[in-house]
Structure 1
Protein backbone atom coordinates (compact mmCIF):
# COMPACT_ATOMS: atom_id res chain seq x y z
CA UNK A 1 0.00 0.00 0.00
CA UNK A 2 1.44 3.43 -0.91
CA UNK A 3 1.44 6.45 1.38
CA UNK A 4 -1.59 8.04 -0.23
CA UNK A 5 -3.72 4.90 -0.02
CA UNK A 6 -2.58 4.31 3.55
CA UNK A 7 -3.48 7.86 4.52
CA UNK A 8 -6.89 7.57 2.88
CA UNK A 9 -7.50 4.24 4.61
CA UNK A 10 -6.47 5.63 7.99
CA UNK A 11 -8.69 8.66 7.49
CA UNK A 12 -11.63 6.41 6.66
CA UNK A 13 -11.08 4.28 9.78
CA UNK A 14 -10.87 7.38 11.96
CA UNK A 15 -13.99 8.83 10.38
CA UNK A 16 -15.96 5.64 11.03
CA UNK A 17 -14.66 5.47 14.61
CA UNK A 18 -15.57 9.10 15.27
CA UNK A 19 -19.01 8.55 13.75
CA UNK A 20 -19.60 5.49 15.93
CA UNK A 21 -18.40 7.41 18.98
CA UNK A 22 -20.85 10.18 18.14
CA UNK A 23 -23.74 7.70 17.78
CA UNK A 24 -22.90 6.01 21.07
CA UNK A 25 -22.55 9.35 22.80
CA UNK A 26 -25.93 10.50 21.49
CA UNK A 27 -27.51 7.19 22.53
CA UNK A 28 -26.04 7.50 26.00
CA UNK A 29 -27.19 11.09 26.27
CA UNK A 30 -30.65 10.02 25.14
CA UNK A 31 -30.80 7.26 27.72
CA UNK A 32 -29.83 9.72 30.46
CA UNK A 33 -32.77 11.98 29.63
CA UNK A 34 -35.25 9.14 29.20
CA UNK A 35 -37.77 9.20 32.04
CA UNK A 36 -38.75 6.16 34.07
CA UNK A 37 -42.17 4.56 33.43
CA UNK A 38 -43.50 5.86 36.74
CA UNK A 39 -42.33 9.40 36.03
CA UNK A 40 -43.85 9.35 32.54
CA UNK A 41 -47.19 8.23 33.96
CA UNK A 42 -47.12 10.69 36.85
CA UNK A 43 -46.23 13.69 34.68
CA UNK A 44 -48.15 12.79 31.51
CA UNK A 45 -49.84 15.72 29.82
CA UNK A 46 -53.59 16.12 30.32
CA UNK A 47 -54.03 15.59 26.59
CA UNK A 48 -52.35 12.18 26.84
CA UNK A 49 -55.39 10.71 28.61
CA UNK A 50 -58.76 9.67 27.24
CA UNK A 51 -61.96 9.11 29.16
CA UNK A 52 -63.25 5.55 29.30
CA UNK A 53 -66.78 5.46 27.88
CA UNK A 54 -69.12 4.13 30.63
CA UNK A 55 -71.29 2.59 27.90
CA UNK A 56 -68.37 0.27 27.09
CA UNK A 57 -67.46 -0.47 30.68
CA UNK A 58 -68.63 -3.35 32.87
CA UNK A 59 -68.61 -3.52 36.65
CA UNK A 60 -68.40 -7.05 38.04
CA UNK A 61 -69.11 -7.59 41.72
CA UNK A 62 -67.46 -10.66 43.27
CA UNK A 63 -67.14 -11.66 46.91
CA UNK A 64 -63.43 -10.93 46.54
CA UNK A 65 -63.91 -7.40 45.24
CA UNK A 66 -64.99 -5.25 42.31
CA UNK A 67 -63.56 -5.46 38.81
CA UNK A 68 -63.98 -2.90 36.03
CA UNK A 69 -63.72 -4.20 32.47
CA UNK A 70 -63.41 -1.97 29.41
CA UNK A 71 -64.95 -3.46 26.28
CA UNK A 72 -63.50 -3.08 22.78
CA UNK A 73 -66.25 -2.73 20.16
CA UNK A 74 -63.70 -1.74 17.52
CA UNK A 75 -62.46 -5.34 17.60
CA UNK A 76 -65.61 -7.35 18.36
CA UNK A 77 -68.81 -5.27 18.12
CA UNK A 78 -71.21 -8.24 18.28
CA UNK A 79 -69.59 -9.69 21.40
CA UNK A 80 -69.61 -6.31 23.10
CA UNK A 81 -73.26 -5.74 22.21
CA UNK A 82 -74.30 -9.22 23.36
CA UNK A 83 -72.61 -9.13 26.74
CA UNK A 84 -74.18 -5.75 27.45
CA UNK A 85 -77.60 -7.16 26.62
CA UNK A 86 -76.94 -10.17 28.88
CA UNK A 87 -75.70 -7.91 31.68
CA UNK A 88 -78.76 -5.66 31.42
CA UNK A 89 -81.01 -8.73 31.58
CA UNK A 90 -79.25 -9.85 34.77
CA UNK A 91 -78.09 -13.06 33.10
CA UNK A 92 -74.79 -13.26 34.99
CA UNK A 93 -76.18 -12.33 38.42
CA UNK A 94 -76.03 -15.42 40.60
CA UNK A 95 -73.79 -17.39 38.25
CA UNK A 96 -70.15 -18.03 39.14
CA UNK A 97 -66.53 -17.98 38.11
CA UNK A 98 -66.50 -21.75 38.08
CA UNK A 99 -63.05 -22.50 36.67
CA UNK A 100 -59.75 -21.27 38.04
CA UNK A 101 -56.43 -22.40 36.57
CA UNK A 102 -53.47 -21.03 38.54
CA UNK A 103 -51.41 -18.58 36.52
CA UNK A 104 -53.66 -19.05 33.47
CA UNK A 105 -57.32 -18.01 33.46
CA UNK A 106 -60.44 -17.55 35.57
CA UNK A 107 -63.54 -18.58 33.62
CA UNK A 108 -67.13 -17.71 34.46
CA UNK A 109 -70.71 -17.80 33.27
CA UNK A 110 -73.30 -20.56 33.07
CA UNK A 111 -71.37 -23.82 33.44
CA UNK A 112 -74.60 -25.83 33.05
CA UNK A 113 -75.51 -24.08 29.80
CA UNK A 114 -79.12 -24.24 31.00
CA UNK A 115 -79.96 -20.76 32.31
CA UNK A 116 -82.65 -19.10 30.22
CA UNK A 117 -81.59 -16.19 28.03
CA UNK A 118 -84.07 -13.34 27.55
CA UNK A 119 -82.75 -11.07 24.82
CA UNK A 120 -79.12 -11.99 24.21
CA UNK A 121 -77.61 -14.81 22.19
CA UNK A 122 -76.10 -18.02 23.54
CA UNK A 123 -73.66 -18.34 20.65
CA UNK A 124 -72.12 -15.83 18.29
CA UNK A 125 -70.11 -15.89 15.11
CA UNK A 126 -66.46 -15.61 16.10
CA UNK A 127 -64.81 -12.18 15.92
CA UNK A 128 -61.28 -13.49 16.36
CA UNK A 129 -59.92 -10.66 14.21
CA UNK A 130 -61.20 -7.63 12.33
CA UNK A 131 -60.38 -6.21 8.93
CA UNK A 132 -61.63 -2.76 9.86
CA UNK A 133 -58.89 -0.10 9.52
CA UNK A 134 -57.65 0.85 12.98
CA UNK A 135 -55.22 3.51 14.17
CA UNK A 136 -52.29 1.32 15.22
CA UNK A 137 -49.35 2.41 17.36
CA UNK A 138 -46.48 0.03 16.57
CA UNK A 139 -44.46 -1.43 19.42
CA UNK A 140 -41.34 -1.37 17.28
CA UNK A 141 -39.86 -4.71 18.39
CA UNK A 142 -40.13 -8.16 16.81
CA UNK A 143 -42.77 -10.56 18.11
CA UNK A 144 -42.80 -14.35 18.18
CA UNK A 145 -46.52 -14.75 17.46
CA UNK A 146 -47.37 -11.93 15.04
CA UNK A 147 -45.90 -9.95 12.19
CA UNK A 148 -46.50 -6.74 14.09
CA UNK A 149 -47.70 -5.86 17.58
CA UNK A 150 -48.70 -2.58 19.14
CA UNK A 151 -51.70 -0.78 20.57
CA UNK A 152 -55.14 0.39 19.47
CA UNK A 153 -57.05 2.82 21.69
CA UNK A 154 -55.48 1.45 24.86
CA UNK A 155 -55.65 -2.25 23.95
CA UNK A 156 -52.66 -4.46 23.21
CA UNK A 157 -53.07 -5.77 19.69
CA UNK A 158 -51.43 -7.38 16.67
CA UNK A 159 -51.68 -7.05 12.90
CA UNK A 160 -50.61 -8.93 9.80
CA UNK A 161 -49.94 -8.05 6.17
CA UNK A 162 -53.47 -9.09 5.21
CA UNK A 163 -54.83 -6.11 7.15
CA UNK A 164 -56.24 -8.22 9.99
CA UNK A 165 -56.07 -6.91 13.56
CA UNK A 166 -56.79 -8.67 16.84
CA UNK A 167 -56.39 -8.22 20.57
CA UNK A 168 -53.71 -10.33 22.22
CA UNK A 169 -53.72 -12.39 25.41
CA UNK A 170 -51.95 -10.09 27.84
CA UNK A 171 -52.74 -10.37 31.58
CA UNK A 172 -56.19 -8.93 32.20
CA UNK A 173 -57.47 -9.73 28.72
CA UNK A 174 -61.22 -10.43 28.68
CA UNK A 175 -62.22 -13.08 26.15
CA UNK A 176 -65.03 -15.42 25.13
CA UNK A 177 -64.56 -19.11 25.91
CA UNK A 178 -65.78 -21.66 23.38
CA UNK A 179 -65.99 -25.36 22.63
CA UNK A 180 -64.27 -26.93 19.62
CA UNK A 181 -66.54 -25.28 17.01
CA UNK A 182 -65.09 -21.84 16.40
CA UNK A 183 -68.51 -20.12 16.58
CA UNK A 184 -69.67 -21.85 19.78
CA UNK A 185 -68.89 -19.01 22.23
CA UNK A 186 -71.34 -16.40 23.41
CA UNK A 187 -71.81 -16.32 27.17
CA UNK A 188 -68.79 -17.91 28.88
CA UNK A 189 -66.01 -15.38 29.49
CA UNK A 190 -62.51 -15.75 30.88
CA UNK A 191 -59.88 -13.39 32.25
CA UNK A 192 -56.17 -13.99 31.69
CA UNK A 193 -54.49 -14.17 35.11
CA UNK A 194 -50.80 -14.75 34.70
CA UNK A 195 -48.13 -15.02 32.05
CA UNK A 196 -49.51 -14.09 28.66
CA UNK A 197 -50.78 -17.27 26.87
CA UNK A 198 -50.17 -15.79 23.44
CA UNK A 199 -50.68 -19.16 21.73
CA UNK A 200 -54.42 -18.52 22.24
CA UNK A 201 -54.28 -15.43 20.00
CA UNK A 202 -56.68 -15.64 17.02
CA UNK A 203 -58.19 -18.85 18.40
CA UNK A 204 -60.83 -17.01 20.42
CA UNK A 205 -62.47 -13.60 20.51
CA UNK A 206 -60.76 -11.17 22.88
CA UNK A 207 -63.06 -8.19 23.37
CA UNK A 208 -61.95 -6.25 26.44
CA UNK A 209 -59.58 -6.05 29.37
CA UNK A 210 -59.75 -5.59 33.11
CA UNK A 211 -58.64 -2.03 33.83
CA UNK A 212 -59.05 -2.22 37.61
CA UNK A 213 -59.67 -4.97 40.15
CA UNK A 214 -57.47 -7.83 38.94
CA UNK A 215 -56.98 -8.70 42.61
CA UNK A 216 -60.66 -9.71 42.73
CA UNK A 217 -59.94 -12.47 40.20
CA UNK A 218 -56.59 -13.41 41.68
CA UNK A 219 -58.22 -13.90 45.12
CA UNK A 220 -60.93 -16.30 43.97
CA UNK A 221 -61.16 -19.81 45.41
CA UNK A 222 -59.14 -22.36 43.49
CA UNK A 223 -61.20 -25.47 44.19
CA UNK A 224 -64.74 -26.02 45.39
CA UNK A 225 -65.10 -27.71 48.77
CA UNK A 226 -68.05 -29.95 49.61
CA UNK A 227 -69.18 -27.60 52.39
CA UNK A 228 -69.27 -24.59 50.05
CA UNK A 229 -72.83 -23.56 49.24
CA UNK A 230 -71.53 -21.19 46.58
CA UNK A 231 -68.32 -21.16 44.57
CA UNK A 232 -66.98 -17.80 43.40
CA UNK A 233 -70.43 -16.29 42.86
CA UNK A 234 -70.95 -13.37 40.52
CA UNK A 235 -73.07 -11.01 42.60
CA UNK A 236 -73.74 -8.72 39.66
CA UNK A 237 -72.48 -7.67 36.25
CA UNK A 238 -73.66 -4.26 35.11
CA UNK A 239 -72.92 -1.76 32.37
CA UNK A 240 -71.33 1.24 34.07
CA UNK A 241 -73.58 3.77 32.34
CA UNK A 242 -76.57 2.11 34.03
CA UNK A 243 -75.20 2.56 37.54
CA UNK A 244 -76.49 5.10 39.98
CA UNK A 245 -74.30 8.21 40.09
CA UNK A 246 -73.18 7.31 43.60
CA UNK A 247 -71.84 3.97 42.32
CA UNK A 248 -70.09 5.19 39.21
CA UNK A 249 -66.35 5.59 38.82
CA UNK A 250 -64.83 7.61 36.02
CA UNK A 251 -61.66 6.18 34.51
CA UNK A 252 -59.02 7.53 32.17
CA UNK A 253 -56.65 5.54 29.97
CA UNK A 254 -53.37 6.84 28.61
CA UNK A 255 -53.75 7.38 24.89
CA UNK A 256 -51.57 4.80 23.19
CA UNK A 257 -50.91 7.12 20.24
CA UNK A 258 -49.66 9.93 22.50
CA UNK A 259 -46.05 11.10 22.78
CA UNK A 260 -46.05 10.17 26.47
CA UNK A 261 -47.04 6.58 25.70
CA UNK A 262 -44.48 6.25 22.91
CA UNK A 263 -41.83 7.34 25.40
CA UNK A 264 -43.24 4.79 27.84
CA UNK A 265 -42.63 2.00 25.30
CA UNK A 266 -38.99 3.08 24.95
CA UNK A 267 -38.61 3.41 28.72
CA UNK A 268 -39.94 -0.11 29.27
CA UNK A 269 -37.37 -1.40 26.81
CA UNK A 270 -34.36 0.61 27.98
CA UNK A 271 -35.21 0.75 31.73
CA UNK A 272 -33.37 3.97 32.64
CA UNK A 273 -33.90 3.56 36.41
CA UNK A 274 -30.70 3.44 38.48
CA UNK A 275 -31.62 -0.01 39.86
CA UNK A 276 -31.06 -1.72 36.48
CA UNK A 277 -27.51 -2.87 35.79
CA UNK A 278 -28.64 -4.70 32.64
CA UNK A 279 -31.01 -3.03 30.20
CA UNK A 280 -32.83 -5.47 27.90
CA UNK A 281 -33.22 -2.97 25.07
CA UNK A 282 -36.42 -4.72 23.93
CA UNK A 283 -39.91 -5.29 25.27
CA UNK A 284 -42.89 -7.35 24.18
CA UNK A 285 -46.40 -6.01 23.77
CA UNK A 286 -47.56 -7.44 27.11
CA UNK A 287 -44.58 -5.89 28.87
CA UNK A 288 -45.93 -2.36 28.42
CA UNK A 289 -48.61 -1.85 31.04
CA UNK A 290 -51.12 0.71 29.77
CA UNK A 291 -51.64 3.30 32.52
CA UNK A 292 -55.14 3.72 33.94
CA UNK A 293 -56.28 6.22 36.54
CA UNK A 294 -59.46 7.57 38.05
CA UNK A 295 -60.41 10.81 36.39
CA UNK A 296 -59.10 13.75 38.44
CA UNK A 297 -61.82 15.81 40.03
CA UNK A 298 -62.17 19.38 38.77
CA UNK A 299 -61.14 21.78 41.50
Structure 2
Protein backbone atom coordinates (compact mmCIF):
# COMPACT_ATOMS: atom_id res chain seq x y z
CA UNK A 1 0.00 0.00 0.00
CA UNK A 2 1.24 3.48 -0.78
CA UNK A 3 2.70 5.39 2.11
CA UNK A 4 -0.05 6.90 4.24
CA UNK A 5 1.67 9.46 6.40
CA UNK A 6 1.55 13.20 6.77
CA UNK A 7 4.15 13.50 3.98
CA UNK A 8 4.83 17.13 3.16
CA UNK A 9 3.02 18.47 6.19
CA UNK A 10 4.80 16.22 8.68
CA UNK A 11 8.21 16.43 7.04
CA UNK A 12 8.31 20.05 5.96
CA UNK A 13 6.16 21.58 8.66
CA UNK A 14 7.80 19.62 11.46
CA UNK A 15 11.15 20.94 10.29
CA UNK A 16 9.91 24.47 10.92
CA UNK A 17 11.30 25.67 14.23
CA UNK A 18 8.95 26.32 17.11
CA UNK A 19 9.93 29.96 17.01
CA UNK A 20 8.48 30.25 13.52
CA UNK A 21 5.08 29.42 14.96
CA UNK A 22 5.18 32.03 17.71
CA UNK A 23 3.33 35.26 17.41
CA UNK A 24 5.13 38.59 17.60
CA UNK A 25 5.29 40.07 21.07
CA UNK A 26 2.25 42.22 21.73
CA UNK A 27 1.79 45.18 24.01
CA UNK A 28 0.39 44.41 27.41
CA UNK A 29 -3.38 44.04 27.20
CA UNK A 30 -5.69 45.77 29.65
CA UNK A 31 -6.81 43.76 32.64
CA UNK A 32 -9.20 41.04 31.56
CA UNK A 33 -12.58 40.45 33.14
CA UNK A 34 -12.56 38.03 36.04
CA UNK A 35 -12.98 34.36 35.22
CA UNK A 36 -16.68 33.47 35.44
CA UNK A 37 -17.85 31.42 38.39
CA UNK A 38 -18.06 27.65 38.08
CA UNK A 39 -20.48 26.49 35.39
CA UNK A 40 -24.07 26.01 36.54
CA UNK A 41 -26.12 22.93 35.77
CA UNK A 42 -27.62 24.60 32.69
CA UNK A 43 -24.16 25.31 31.25
CA UNK A 44 -23.30 21.65 30.61
CA UNK A 45 -24.15 19.30 27.75
CA UNK A 46 -23.86 15.53 27.52
CA UNK A 47 -22.15 14.37 24.31
CA UNK A 48 -23.87 11.77 22.17
CA UNK A 49 -22.41 8.45 23.32
CA UNK A 50 -22.16 7.34 19.68
CA UNK A 51 -19.87 10.32 19.01
CA UNK A 52 -17.30 9.67 21.74
CA UNK A 53 -14.30 7.39 21.30
CA UNK A 54 -12.84 5.89 24.47
CA UNK A 55 -9.14 5.36 23.71
CA UNK A 56 -7.41 3.44 26.47
CA UNK A 57 -3.64 3.74 26.10
CA UNK A 58 -0.72 2.52 28.18
CA UNK A 59 -0.36 6.14 29.37
CA UNK A 60 -3.99 6.64 30.34
CA UNK A 61 -7.43 7.27 28.85
CA UNK A 62 -8.28 9.70 26.07
CA UNK A 63 -11.87 10.71 25.29
CA UNK A 64 -12.28 11.96 21.74
CA UNK A 65 -15.52 13.61 20.64
CA UNK A 66 -16.35 12.95 16.99
CA UNK A 67 -18.01 15.78 15.06
CA UNK A 68 -19.99 14.38 12.11
CA UNK A 69 -21.26 17.87 11.29
CA UNK A 70 -17.87 18.67 9.70
CA UNK A 71 -16.63 15.30 8.42
CA UNK A 72 -19.41 12.68 8.36
CA UNK A 73 -17.60 10.11 6.25
CA UNK A 74 -14.42 10.22 8.33
CA UNK A 75 -16.42 9.94 11.55
CA UNK A 76 -18.25 6.95 10.11
CA UNK A 77 -14.94 5.31 9.14
CA UNK A 78 -13.26 5.82 12.52
CA UNK A 79 -16.36 4.64 14.35
CA UNK A 80 -16.60 1.55 12.13
CA UNK A 81 -12.96 0.61 12.62
CA UNK A 82 -13.24 1.12 16.38
CA UNK A 83 -16.24 -1.21 16.50
CA UNK A 84 -14.28 -3.82 14.56
CA UNK A 85 -11.47 -3.67 17.14
CA UNK A 86 -9.16 -2.60 14.32
CA UNK A 87 -7.34 0.05 16.35
CA UNK A 88 -6.60 -2.13 19.38
CA UNK A 89 -2.85 -2.44 19.95
CA UNK A 90 -1.79 0.12 17.35
CA UNK A 91 1.21 2.18 18.41
CA UNK A 92 1.98 5.87 18.24
CA UNK A 93 4.77 5.51 15.71
CA UNK A 94 5.33 9.17 14.79
CA UNK A 95 5.16 11.80 17.52
CA UNK A 96 6.54 15.29 16.98
CA UNK A 97 6.93 17.77 19.83
CA UNK A 98 4.90 20.91 19.21
CA UNK A 99 2.98 19.13 16.47
CA UNK A 100 1.07 15.84 16.71
CA UNK A 101 0.97 12.12 17.64
CA UNK A 102 0.15 9.71 14.80
CA UNK A 103 -1.33 6.23 15.05
CA UNK A 104 -3.89 3.92 13.42
CA UNK A 105 -1.52 1.88 11.24
CA UNK A 106 -1.47 -1.93 11.71
CA UNK A 107 2.15 -1.92 10.50
CA UNK A 108 3.11 0.91 12.89
CA UNK A 109 5.29 2.38 10.15
CA UNK A 110 3.05 4.84 8.32
CA UNK A 111 2.64 2.52 5.34
CA UNK A 112 -0.41 0.52 6.36
CA UNK A 113 -4.15 0.86 6.50
CA UNK A 114 -7.38 -1.07 6.74
CA UNK A 115 -8.97 -3.31 4.10
CA UNK A 116 -11.62 -0.64 3.50
CA UNK A 117 -11.33 1.76 0.56
CA UNK A 118 -9.75 5.17 0.97
CA UNK A 119 -12.01 8.09 1.86
CA UNK A 120 -12.71 11.22 -0.13
CA UNK A 121 -11.31 14.31 1.56
CA UNK A 122 -13.56 16.43 3.79
CA UNK A 123 -11.24 19.38 4.33
CA UNK A 124 -14.15 21.83 4.40
CA UNK A 125 -17.87 21.70 5.20
CA UNK A 126 -21.00 23.70 4.45
CA UNK A 127 -22.55 25.65 7.30
CA UNK A 128 -26.22 26.51 7.22
CA UNK A 129 -28.51 28.26 9.70
CA UNK A 130 -29.29 24.90 11.31
CA UNK A 131 -25.65 24.13 12.14
CA UNK A 132 -24.85 24.10 15.90
CA UNK A 133 -22.32 26.90 15.45
CA UNK A 134 -21.52 29.27 18.33
CA UNK A 135 -19.80 32.53 17.45
CA UNK A 136 -16.60 33.47 19.27
CA UNK A 137 -15.31 36.27 17.05
CA UNK A 138 -16.81 38.09 14.05
CA UNK A 139 -14.18 39.21 11.54
CA UNK A 140 -16.70 40.72 9.12
CA UNK A 141 -15.86 38.44 6.18
CA UNK A 142 -15.30 35.40 8.39
CA UNK A 143 -16.64 34.06 11.68
CA UNK A 144 -14.71 32.06 14.28
CA UNK A 145 -16.58 29.79 16.64
CA UNK A 146 -17.28 26.29 17.85
CA UNK A 147 -19.28 23.29 16.74
CA UNK A 148 -19.43 21.24 19.91
CA UNK A 149 -15.82 21.14 21.18
CA UNK A 150 -14.31 21.73 17.75
CA UNK A 151 -13.07 25.24 16.88
CA UNK A 152 -13.97 26.27 13.34
CA UNK A 153 -13.84 29.22 10.97
CA UNK A 154 -16.46 29.91 8.33
CA UNK A 155 -17.36 32.55 5.84
CA UNK A 156 -19.74 35.18 7.17
CA UNK A 157 -23.36 34.04 7.20
CA UNK A 158 -24.10 37.36 5.51
CA UNK A 159 -23.02 35.58 2.32
CA UNK A 160 -25.46 32.67 2.72
CA UNK A 161 -28.38 34.28 0.82
CA UNK A 162 -26.09 34.66 -2.19
CA UNK A 163 -25.15 30.97 -2.40
CA UNK A 164 -27.04 28.26 -4.25
CA UNK A 165 -27.59 26.12 -1.13
CA UNK A 166 -28.05 28.97 1.33
CA UNK A 167 -24.90 27.94 3.20
CA UNK A 168 -21.31 29.11 3.57
CA UNK A 169 -17.99 27.27 3.59
CA UNK A 170 -16.22 26.41 6.84
CA UNK A 171 -13.19 24.50 8.04
CA UNK A 172 -11.92 23.23 11.40
CA UNK A 173 -9.03 25.00 13.12
CA UNK A 174 -6.09 22.79 14.06
CA UNK A 175 -5.85 23.64 17.74
CA UNK A 176 -4.38 21.38 20.42
CA UNK A 177 -6.44 18.21 20.83
CA UNK A 178 -7.97 18.29 17.35
CA UNK A 179 -8.02 14.90 15.61
CA UNK A 180 -7.08 14.80 11.93
CA UNK A 181 -6.88 12.06 9.33
CA UNK A 182 -3.46 11.23 7.89
CA UNK A 183 -3.13 10.75 4.16
CA UNK A 184 -0.61 10.31 1.37
CA UNK A 185 0.11 12.99 -1.21
CA UNK A 186 -3.22 12.36 -2.95
CA UNK A 187 -6.00 14.32 -1.26
CA UNK A 188 -8.44 11.38 -1.25
CA UNK A 189 -6.05 8.83 0.25
CA UNK A 190 -7.04 8.84 3.95
CA UNK A 191 -7.89 5.37 5.26
CA UNK A 192 -7.33 4.48 8.92
CA UNK A 193 -4.41 6.48 10.25
CA UNK A 194 -5.10 9.57 12.31
CA UNK A 195 -3.23 12.04 14.48
CA UNK A 196 -3.94 14.01 17.66
CA UNK A 197 -2.61 17.54 17.88
CA UNK A 198 -0.17 18.29 20.69
CA UNK A 199 -0.21 22.02 19.87
CA UNK A 200 -1.93 24.41 17.45
CA UNK A 201 -0.72 24.05 13.86
CA UNK A 202 -2.74 26.21 11.43
CA UNK A 203 -0.71 25.09 8.40
CA UNK A 204 -2.81 21.90 8.30
CA UNK A 205 -6.10 23.74 7.87
CA UNK A 206 -7.96 23.01 4.62
CA UNK A 207 -5.29 20.41 3.80
CA UNK A 208 -6.13 17.54 6.19
CA UNK A 209 -9.57 16.41 7.32
CA UNK A 210 -10.32 17.14 10.98
CA UNK A 211 -13.06 14.97 12.47
CA UNK A 212 -13.11 15.59 16.23
CA UNK A 213 -11.29 16.80 19.31
CA UNK A 214 -9.94 15.41 22.55
CA UNK A 215 -12.25 16.46 25.38
CA UNK A 216 -10.38 14.60 28.14
CA UNK A 217 -6.87 13.18 28.27
CA UNK A 218 -4.88 15.88 26.47
CA UNK A 219 -2.22 15.32 29.14
CA UNK A 220 -2.04 11.71 27.94
CA UNK A 221 -1.47 12.88 24.37
CA UNK A 222 1.34 15.08 25.66
CA UNK A 223 2.97 12.20 27.54
CA UNK A 224 3.43 9.95 24.49
CA UNK A 225 7.06 9.25 23.57
CA UNK A 226 8.42 11.57 20.88
CA UNK A 227 10.19 10.45 17.72
CA UNK A 228 10.04 10.67 13.92
CA UNK A 229 9.75 7.77 13.76
CA UNK A 230 9.61 6.80 17.43
CA UNK A 231 12.52 4.52 18.28
CA UNK A 232 11.08 1.18 19.47
CA UNK A 233 7.55 2.61 19.91
CA UNK A 234 5.85 1.18 22.97
CA UNK A 235 3.14 3.78 23.59
CA UNK A 236 -0.02 2.37 22.08
CA UNK A 237 -3.80 2.35 21.98
CA UNK A 238 -4.56 -0.75 23.99
CA UNK A 239 -8.29 -0.61 23.26
CA UNK A 240 -10.51 1.79 21.29
CA UNK A 241 -14.27 1.67 21.75
CA UNK A 242 -17.33 3.80 21.08
CA UNK A 243 -18.75 5.07 24.38
CA UNK A 244 -22.24 3.84 23.51
CA UNK A 245 -20.92 0.27 23.18
CA UNK A 246 -19.49 0.08 26.70
CA UNK A 247 -21.54 -1.81 29.29
CA UNK A 248 -23.45 0.63 31.45
CA UNK A 249 -21.42 -0.31 34.54
CA UNK A 250 -18.15 0.53 32.73
CA UNK A 251 -19.31 3.61 30.89
CA UNK A 252 -17.81 6.89 32.14
CA UNK A 253 -20.28 9.69 32.70
CA UNK A 254 -19.12 12.62 30.60
CA UNK A 255 -20.34 16.16 30.38
CA UNK A 256 -18.81 19.15 28.62
CA UNK A 257 -19.53 22.86 28.93
CA UNK A 258 -21.91 23.81 26.15
CA UNK A 259 -20.58 26.53 23.79
CA UNK A 260 -24.13 27.92 23.74
CA UNK A 261 -24.10 28.46 27.51
CA UNK A 262 -23.88 31.73 29.36
CA UNK A 263 -20.72 30.52 31.13
CA UNK A 264 -18.94 29.82 27.84
CA UNK A 265 -19.89 33.16 26.36
CA UNK A 266 -18.51 34.90 29.44
CA UNK A 267 -15.31 32.87 29.20
CA UNK A 268 -14.85 33.78 25.55
CA UNK A 269 -15.27 37.45 26.43
CA UNK A 270 -12.68 37.11 29.18
CA UNK A 271 -10.12 35.40 26.95
CA UNK A 272 -10.66 37.83 24.08
CA UNK A 273 -10.11 40.77 26.41
CA UNK A 274 -6.93 39.19 27.77
CA UNK A 275 -5.48 38.28 24.36
CA UNK A 276 -6.58 41.32 22.41
CA UNK A 277 -5.51 41.15 18.76
CA UNK A 278 -3.70 37.86 19.46
CA UNK A 279 -6.93 36.02 20.29
CA UNK A 280 -7.56 32.67 18.60
CA UNK A 281 -10.12 29.97 19.30
CA UNK A 282 -7.24 27.78 20.47
CA UNK A 283 -6.94 30.03 23.53
CA UNK A 284 -10.37 28.97 24.84
CA UNK A 285 -10.44 25.94 27.12
CA UNK A 286 -13.66 23.93 27.37
CA UNK A 287 -14.23 22.38 30.81
CA UNK A 288 -15.19 18.72 30.99
CA UNK A 289 -16.21 16.41 33.83
CA UNK A 290 -15.67 12.67 33.71
CA UNK A 291 -16.99 10.40 36.45
What's the TM-score bracket when you normalise by the shorter of the two chains? 0.7 to 0.9
Higher relative contact order by CA 8 Å / sep ≥ 6: 1 or 2? 2
1:58 partnered with 2:60:
no
- Pairing 1:216–2:183 present: no
- C-alpha distance 62-141 of structure 1, shift in aligned 2 (>3 A): same
Asked if the contact 1:59–1:237 (Cα under 8 Å) also holds between the matched residues in 2, the reply is: yes
CA deviation after TM superposition for structure 1 residue 93, in Å = 1.1
CA apart distance, 1:129: 1.3
Tell me the secondary structure at the aligned position of residue 174 of structure 1.
strand
| Alpha-carbon separation, structure 1, partners of 2:112 and 2:214 | 27
Paired with 1:151 and 1:114, the residues of 2 have a C-alpha distance of 33
Taking structure 2 as the reference length, the TM-score comes to 0.77
In structure 2, the CA distance between the partners of 1:82 and 1:45, relative to structure 1 (3 Å rule), is same
Find the residue that maps to 1:106 and give its secondary structure.
strand
1:268 to 259, 266, 271: 271
- Within 5 Å, which residues of 2 pair with 1:222-261? 222-223=226-227, 224-225=230-231, 228=232, 231-261=234-264
How far does residue 247 in structure 1 lie from its aligned partner after superposition?
A: 2.2
- 1: distance between equivalents of 2:153 and 2:53? 24
Aligned 8 A contact 1:141 1:282 in 2:
no
Cα distance, 1:141 vs structure 2:
5.6
Other-structure match for 1:201: 205
Structure 1 unaligned regions, length at least 5: 1-27, 272-278
SS at match of 1:185: coil
Separation in structure 2 between the aligned mates of residue 150 and residue 190 of structure 1, nearest angstrom: 22
Q: Give the number of the structure whose alpha-carbon radius of gyration is greater.
A: 1
The question of 1:187 aligning with 2:192 is answered yes
Matched with 1:35 is 34
Distance (Å, rounded) in 1 between the aligned partners of 2:72 and 2:245 = 19
The answer to whether 1:287 aligns with 2:290 is no
Q: Residues 51 and 253 of structure 1 are in contact (CA less than 8 Å); yes or no, is this contact kept in structure 2? A: yes
Structure 1 position 113, deviation (Å):
4.2
Match of 2:91 in 1: 96
Long gaps (5+) in structure 2: 1-29, 160-167
- Whether 2:176 is the aligned partner of 1:171: answer yes
CA distance in 1, matches of 2:273, 2:221: 31
Correspondence 1:50-89 to 2 at 5 A: 50-89=45-84
TM-score computed with the length of structure 1 as normaliser: 0.75
Structure 1 residue 114: deviation in Å?
4.5
Q: What is the CA distance between 1:268 and its match in structure 2?
A: 1.1
1:11 corresponds in structure 2 to none
Alignment: residue pair count: 245
Q: Is the 8 A contact 2:149 2:213 kept in 1?
A: no
Residue matched to 2:27:
none
